[in-house]
Amino acid sequence: MLSPMPEDLTPILGPGGGKILLVEDDVDTRRALDQLLTEVGFEVKCAANGAEAIALLGDGKPQLIMLDIWMPEMSGLEFRARQLRIAGVRDIPVIAMTAAGVREEARVRLNFGRILRKPLDEATVLEAVREFIPGPAALDH
């Protein structure tokens, strides 16, 4: 689950915030992230594991992938290794999400744009997303 942001930090993106592929096996976390990202204007496609995510890559190129590392069927590490071998999608940045961490060797080899530690909070998630999908985002103070 996500820790909520204070109301005064709610971002305003407006329509057309960008396309995100969200890959997360935990149903509650996936729903919470999907709701958060959709509410602030992103178009989100969800996958429960790396295999589903690979299939979704051919269904409209996302601008960003948010990827859980430890999942059944195909882990985030396996997904990222495959993604890097697919022309046309290897350049899509990836934000990795994990409670267990990622070895430095894997982080460097798989070129994660950012790694977020679970449990996640809304403000950190949105800050990380804005690094890769800039736009009309503004913070009310």
- Do 8 and 141 form a contact (C-beta atoms < 8 A)? yes
**Domains of the chain, with CATH numbers?**
21-132 (3.40.50.2300)
Other beta carbons within 10 angstroms of residue 54's beta carbon come to 18
Does residue 7 have a pLDDT over 50?
no
pLDDT tens digits along 87-111? 999 999 999 999 877 667 677 678 8
Confidence of residue 84 (pLDDT cuts 50, 70, 90): very high
Q: What share of the chain is helix, strand, coil (3-state, %, to 5)?
A: 35, 25, 40
Rounded Cα gap, residues 37 and 115, in angstroms: 18
Q: Is 103 in contact with 83 (CB distance < 8 Å)?
A: no
**Which residue matches tokens 């996936």?**
30
Q: Is the pTM of this model over 0.75?
A: yes
Q: How far is CA 67 from CA 13, 19, 54, 106, 112, in A?
A: 22, 14, 12, 14, 10
Smallest CA-to-CA distance from 39 within 3, 19, 13 is with: 13
